[in-house]
Structure 1
Amino acid sequence: MAILKTYARLWSEDLDAALPPLVELVGEEPHLRLPFGEVELGAIGDFLVIAATPQAAANLPRATATVVVSDLGETQAMLASHGAEVTFGPTQGPTGSYFYARHADGSEVEYVQWRPELVARILT
């Protein structure tokens, strides 16, 4: 198992307003932008912007980071061996498989195993 990418999560009500300063800061265009249920996601550099109405955002887990890993099953087993508890998933999403885990210290993180075509397009 390896960590392939880590994103800081930013919450917004308007993805179109949130992305321009990040484009200037990072110096590139978003490499991922897609709807997901009641939210819209935009990834640029090491930021993942989650845009939702306050009502939709209230229903979502508040993970502190999104971590893209090479093997979700191995990650889940390793985290469990350190006292982490899966709070949602594993399940499928538009980018691949994912789950949320609460670590023994109480922090919550989203772990994702991207589809191979995303790994090839974004990370290579």
Structure 2
Amino acid sequence: MILKTYTRIFTTDLEGTVATLKAVHGTEPHFRLDFAPWTLVGIGDVLAVGGTDEELEPIRGSLGPWIVEDIDDAKRKLLANGASVVRDIEDVPTGRMMYMKHADGSVVEYVQWTPELAEKHIFAPLRAGTPASQI
């Protein structure tokens, strides 16, 4: 099950991009993480990914991240529907992630957050009545 989806913005001017997102979203970022060589900032359903053009090149053109409840289950379902592995499941500071190429050619990053991150950024806000686009 997909718990949350992000639209990524790749930027070489992270602070300028975040300022714009704060203005149009009317809220502060809920998530900031240094994930070398990138810095990730989440605000609503947007994930700004900051880095140099060279650092961003390998992931430009991919979609996501799509936060899933169970990454192993997601992988099985994707493979059964014609997807292929681009980058297999690995542990990362936020939990576990993989890149999959869907049958239509789309490349998507899937992430299973740690239980603590999922609770803080998905389940607790939903229980409090926060609209999904604001978490």
Specify the code of the residue in structure 2 equivalent to 1:19.
V
TM-score of the aligned structures, taking structure 2 as reference length: 0.86
Per-residue deviation, 1:89:
2.3
What do you get for the CA RMSD once the two structures are aligned?
A: 1.1
Question: Distance in 2 between the 1:109 and 1:59 partners?
Answer: 13
Which runs of at least 4 in structure 1 moved beyond 4 Å after TM superposition?
none
Specify the code of the residue in structure 2 equivalent to 1:78.
K
Q: Say if 2:22 is the partner of 1:57.
A: no
Figure out how many residues of one structure are paired with residues of the other and give that number. 123
Question: Distance in 2 between the 1:83 and 1:99 partners?
Answer: 16
TM-score of the aligned structures, taking structure 1 as reference length: 0.94
Is the 2:4–2:68 contact (alpha carbons within 8 Å) kept by the matching residues of 1? yes
Specify the code of the residue in structure 2 equivalent to 1:70.
E
Question: Distance in 1 between the 2:60 and 2:25 partners?
Answer: 26
Question: Distance in 1 between the 2:45 and 2:58 partners?
Answer: 24
Question: Distance in 2 between the 1:34 and 1:60 partners?
Answer: 17
Matches within 5 A, 1:68-83: 68-83=67-82
Per-residue deviation, 1:14:
2.0
For structure 2, the residue ranges without an aligned partner over 5 or more in a row are 125-135
Question: More displaced, 85-94 or 66-75?
Answer: 85-94
What fraction of aligned residue pairs are identical, expressed as a percent? Answer: 37
- Give the aligned partner of residue 17 of structure 1: 16
Specify the code of the residue in structure 2 equivalent to 1:5.
K
| Deviations 1:47-70, CA, capped at 9 Å, x for gaps | 011111011112336312210000
